[in-house]
Structure 1
Amino acid sequence: MSAASTVEPRTEERALAPIAWRWPVMYAVFTVVALLVFLRVRDGATTYRVARAGDFLEIPDLILPSLATNVVLVLVMAAATAAATLAAVRRAPIGWWVPAAFGIAFVLAFLTWVGAGRSTVIPLTTLLAGALALSVPLVFGALSGVVCERSGIINIAIEGQLLSGAFLAAVVGSLTASAYLGMMAAPVAGALVGVLLAFFAVRYWVDQIIVGVVLNVLVLGLTGFLFSTVLTENAELLNTRQSMPDLPIPLLASIPVLGPVLFRQSLLVYLMYAVVIVLQIFLFRSRWGLRTRAVGEHPKAADTVGIKVGRTRVVNTILGGAIAGLGGAFFTVGSGLAFGTDMSAGQGYIALAAMILGRWNPKGAVAAALLFGFSKSLVNMLSGIGAGISSDLLLMLPYAVTILAVAGFVGRVRPPAAENQPYIK
Structure 2
Amino acid sequence: MTPEFIVLVITGIVGLTTPILLAGLGELVVEKSGVLNLGVEGMMLMGALAGFGVTVMTFNPWLGLISAAAAGAVLALLFGVMVLSLNSNQVATGLALTIFGIGVSSLIGSKMFQGRITPVFGSVFPNSLAKDPILQVFFGYSPIVYFALIMVPLVAWFLKSTRAGLILRAVGENDHSAHSIGYSVIGVRYAAIAFGGAMAGIGGAYFTMVITPMWSNELTAGRGWLALSLVVFAGWRTWRLFAGAFFFGILMSLELYAKGAGFSFLPSQFWAAMPFLMTVVALTFISSRGNVGASAPACLGKPFLP
Question: Is TM-score (shorter-chain normalized) higher than 0.5?
Answer: yes
- How far did 1:247 drift? 3.6
Indicate which of 98, 114, 120 corresponds to 1:243: 120
Question: Using the alignment, how far apart are the partners of 2:139 and 2:231 within structure 1?
Answer: 25
- How far did 1:409 drift? 5.0
**Code of the aligned partner of 1:373:** G
- Whether the 8 Å CA contact 1:132–1:261 is kept in 2: the answer is no
Counterpart residue number, 1:302 = 178
1:129-168 superposed Cα distances (whole Å, 9 cap, x missing partner): 2111001110011111111000011011110111000000
Counterpart residue number, 1:420 = 301
Counterpart residue number, 2:220 = 344
- How far did 1:183 drift? 1.5
For the pair 1:132 / 2:14, whether they are aligned, the reply is yes
Counterpart residue number, 1:361 = 237
Counterpart residue number, 2:101 = 219
Q: How does 1:222-233 map to 2 (within 5 A)?
A: 222-232=104-114
- Whether the 8 Å CA contact 2:27–2:231 is kept in 1: the answer is yes
1:78-127 superposed Cα distances (whole Å, 9 cap, x missing partner): xxxxxxxxxxxxxxxxxxxxxxxxxxxxxxxxxxxxxxxxxxxxx33322
- How far did 1:251 drift? 11
Pair 254,228 (structure 1): closer, same or farther in 2 beyond 3 Å: closer
**Code of the aligned partner of 1:402:** T
- Whether the 8 Å CA contact 1:136–1:327 is kept in 2: the answer is yes
- How far did 1:248 drift? 4.4
Pair 250,170 (structure 1): closer, same or farther in 2 beyond 3 Å: closer
Counterpart residue number, 1:327 = 203
Corresponding residue pairs, total: 301
TM-score normalised over the length of structure 1: 0.67
For the pair 1:406 / 2:288, whether they are aligned, the reply is no
- How far did 1:342 drift? 0.7
Of structures 1 and 2, the one with the larger relative CO (CA 8 A, separation 6+) is: 2
**Code of the aligned partner of 1:243:** V
- Whether the 8 Å CA contact 1:144–1:158 is kept in 2: the answer is no
Question: Using the alignment, how far apart are the partners of 1:278 and 1:252 within structure 2?
Answer: 27
For the pair 1:151 / 2:33, whether they are aligned, the reply is yes
**Code of the aligned partner of 2:22:** F
Counterpart residue number, 2:50 = 168
Q: How does 1:179-194 map to 2 (within 5 A)?
A: 179-194=61-76
Pair 226,408 (structure 1): closer, same or farther in 2 beyond 3 Å: same
Q: How does 1:238-317 map to 2 (within 5 A)?
A: 239-248=116-125, 260-317=136-193
Indicate which of 375, 387, 397 corresponds to 2:274: 397
Question: Using the alignment, how far apart are the partners of 1:281 and 1:252 within structure 2?
Answer: 31
Counterpart residue number, 1:100 = none
- How far did 1:367 drift? 1.1
Two-structure CA RMSD over aligned residues (Å) = 2.2
Question: Using the alignment, how far apart are the partners of 1:406 and 1:327 within structure 2?
Answer: 23
TM-score normalised over the length of structure 2: 0.92
Structure 1: runs of 5 or more not aligned: 1-47, 53-122
**Code of the aligned partner of 2:145:** V
Q: Sequence identity of aligned pairs in percent?
A: 27
Question: Using the alignment, how far apart are the partners of 1:332 and 1:253 within structure 2?
Answer: 20
Question: Using the alignment, how far apart are the partners of 1:421 and 1:251 within structure 2?
Answer: 53
**Code of the aligned partner of 1:284:** K
Pair 133,398 (structure 1): closer, same or farther in 2 beyond 3 Å: same
